[in-house]
Amino acid sequence: MSKQAGKGGAIDTRPNPFRNVVRSAQTLPDFSSADNFGNTVDKIIGAGCGVILAATRDHGAIVITVLDGDTRHRTYCSSSTELEEALDSLNDYYTAP
CATH of 31-93, one of 1.20.120, 3.20.20, 3.40.1440, 3.30.720: 3.30.720
pLDDT along the chain (97 residues), means of 10: 63 73 74 92 96 90 94 94 95 87
Predicted local distance difference test score (pLDDT) of residue 23: 65
Q: Is 61 helix (H, G, I), strand (E, B) or coil?
A: coil
Q: Between β-strands 50-55 and 62-68, what pairing exists: parallel, antiparallel or unpaired?
A: antiparallel
Question: Which pLDDT does position 14 carry in this prediction?
Answer: 76
Residue 3: what pLDDT? 62
What local confidence, expressed as pLDDT, does residue 16 receive?
74
Angle of the 37-46 helix axis to the 80-93 helix axis, nearest 10: 30
pLDDT of residue 15: 80
Strand order in the sheet with 62-68: 50-55, 62-68, 71-77
**Domain ranges within the chain, ordered by starting residue:** 31-93
